[in-house]
Structure 1
């Protein structure tokens, strides 16, 4: 089983030959900034088991020893890498099937938001229950999205047929 993924627009795609090791939620401030979120889910893959299958990853050196890879077109964070290290950490949310890789730990919990545990008790504003699609606005977004599908494609964006 391989683990494929990529950016939101489809310009960059990758494949990992093995499941990401040590999947975790990193709460460090650098990951918060890089993800634009309160944490970043990551998992490691050895370099020999990882390949970019479409496009090119752009990099930002967030420190002297770490670089973060992303899509230069849409900005999706894709990888975290210690320069000269043995593995690359992929962002688990960029996988086509993120549900296949469950985090097993937290890292850098010193920077975790103090109200993190309370997130799970917040009301679900978008839908009344698990079968509700969230209303007309959410349906319009889903029907008109330009996001790459969660699988490899030979051509993207898809060519329009007349």
Structure 2
């Protein structure tokens, strides 16, 4: 795998679900990854953590500040203390990994490598075979979202 940047040019912005914490990245990103380790599964409350490396110097916290939890002797994890959204994986003084799905447009940050695949649940291979139910007519149609919009406000 190459360590070639996955994104250059237009800045990337993102933040937490409630909007209390926002960030902006200027400059290149490093390679994005999916990590299947148990610590990432717990931190993201999902089957994997999707992360992309950026230089700390290229990252600006534009609203609020993240809280952190020392998840191991080598890593701190950042999150919003208000809504709990996972935001960072902090392992270096000059680089930081940001949660891909915290970006306003996560489709711009496509993972290039998988890590700790031994932690991937066997049922993940069959997700495409599961029936798909359309959202129309379901309970989600009546929900009023209080999620912060995927843009600066």
Provide the TM-score with structure 2 as the length reference: 0.89
Q: Deviations over 1:61-111 (max 9, x none)?
A: 0011100000000000001011x4321100000000011111111111111
Query: Could you tell me which residue of structure 1 aligns to residue 6 of structure 2?
Result: none
Gaps of 5+ in 1: 128-132, 154-162
Q: Which residue of 2 aligns with 1:54?
A: 63
Structure-1 residue corresponding to 2:5: none
Alignment partner for residue 137 of structure 2, among 135, 138, 148?
135
- Report the Cα offset of residue 18 of structure 1: 3.0
Give the 3-state SS of the residue equivalent to 1:74 in structure 2. Answer: coil
Aligned to 1:158: none
Residue 121 of structure 1 corresponds to: 129
Q: Rg: which structure is higher? A: 1
Task: State the SS of the aligned residue for 2:122.
Answer: coil
Return the match for 1:30 from 29, 33, 39: 39
Q: CA deviation at 1:34?
A: 0.3
> Counterparts of 1:2-151 in structure 2 under 5 Å?
2-82=11-91, 84-125=92-133, 127=134, 133-141=135-143, 144-151=144-151
Structure 2: runs of 5 or more not aligned: 1-9
- Give me the whole-angstrom Cα distance separating, in 1, the residues matched to 2:124 and 2:40: 16
Q: SS of the counterpart of 1:115?
A: helix
Please give the root-mean-square deviation of Cα atoms over the aligned residues, in Å: 1.2
Change over 3 Å in CA distance of 1:85–1:112 after alignment to 2: farther
1:19 and 1:101 in contact (8 A); partners too: no
Aligned length: 144
User: How far, CA to CA, are the matches of 1:102 and 1:57 in structure 2?
Assistant: 24
Q: 1: distance between equivalents of 2:72 and 2:111?
A: 25
TM-score by length of 1: 0.85
Match of 2:127, SS state, is helix
